[in-house]
Amino acid sequence: MKSRVFSTQVVGAALRALSIAFVQQGPDLEGLAFASLRHVQAAGIYFVEGAPEPAGAIRDSLVLCRAADGFDVSNTLLVVAEPQLAFYKLMRHFYAAPPAVASEIHPTAIIDPRAVIGAGVTIGPYSVIGDCVIERGTCIGPHVVVEDGSTIGEDCEIASHTTIGAAGVAWIWDPETRERIVQPQIGGCIIEARCFIGTNVTVVRGSVNESTLIGEGTLLAHGTKIGHGCNVGKQNHFANSVSLAGNVTTGDRCFFGSGCIVRPMIRLTMDIIVGAGAVVVNDVDVPHSLLVGVPAVIKPRDKSRHNGVPKNLSE
């Protein structure tokens, strides 16, 4: 997406429209662009959560911060209660696509005539939509497959090359014929409202009479795999390439680090953090636990925030 430039006055007006209180220290600036502390440039718009040391290289820029002390005098500061939250809301304010009024279906998409598609749904090139329900405002990217019996709630985003409601693989050997007997997967799949599902994600449908459930507001990053019959709570966050085996249950606001694995039938309570690469083999019923290692064990949480873990509403 092409970068745009803004003035301090435009940013201030947006903050007021978002009901974010701020105090400006420094002159009005022009030609400002949103920028990251990992790629510092002049005339940027930044946020700094704590002490200003990471921002030492910032010059002639607009900085959202908690306190004005310690920054280079060439910068203009906007003192706010939650700098990162204000920064994200500003970016969404300026860059979010306007909501679609009418559904837009690319001519190369294949749509089952039994599909129920809500207002403002967009479906990208070469997607295949089965006998399913897609509620209003949801965006389906290119090369997405939504299988029969799936329901996708409102205002979701499903990125390219993802499959919702895929068939799982459950089988047993027949000892007499030595044949592998595969059980048909006849359950459903429910993605609740306002979920983000990244590229190359697979959500397997329920096995028999259950539905795999992804709770409201959950984020599944790229390459994640969710097994049959899983029940994922609300506001969960899955980093890249997480694997949940079948019938895993998670509480609300759990975080799963990159590449972690959860074995079948595991139950995790709310606010669990699973570290990157961990393998979870036991139930955890203590909220706010930190699980690390192979096999995963509970470690003391020696700090309130962990790198890469978004701040929860409960904090």
Q: Is the pLDDT confidence value at 208 over 90?
A: no
Q: Tell me what pLDDT residue 57 has.
A: 81
Looking at per-residue confidence, does 242 or 186 come out higher?
242
Check: CATH 3.40.50.2300 for 8-95? no
Q: Tell me what pLDDT residue 300 has.
A: 84
Q: Is the pLDDT confidence value at 115 over 80?
A: yes
Dihedral sign from CA coordinates of 46, 51, 54, 55: positive
- Same fold yes or no, 8-95 and 104-299: no
The Cα angle at residue 303 between residues 264 and 198, in degrees rounded to 5: 45
Residue type, 216: E
Q: Per residue in 4-25, pLDDT tens?
A: 899 999 999 999 999 999 999 9
Peptide bond between residue 54 and the one before it cis (omega within 30 degrees of 0):
no
According to DSSP, the β-strands at 44-48 and 33-34 are: parallel
Q: Per residue in 276-289, pLDDT tens?
A: 999 999 999 999 99
Predicted model pTM: 0.80
Domain range 104-299, CATH class: mainly beta
- Band (53; pLDDT cuts 50, 70, 90): low
Q: Using CB atoms within 10 Å of the CB of residue 199, give its burial: 0 to 12 exposed, 13 to 18 middle, 19+ buried.
A: middle
Q: Is the pLDDT confidence value at 138 over 80?
A: yes
Beta bridge partners of 291: 274, 298
Domain boundaries, the chain: 8-95, 104-299
Buried b (16+ CB within 10 A) or exposed e, 205-237: bbbeebbbbbbbbbbbbbbbbbbbbbbbbbbbb
Q: Per residue in 294-304, pLDDT tens?
A: 999 999 876 55
Q: Per residue in 228-244, pLDDT tens?
A: 999 999 999 999 999 99
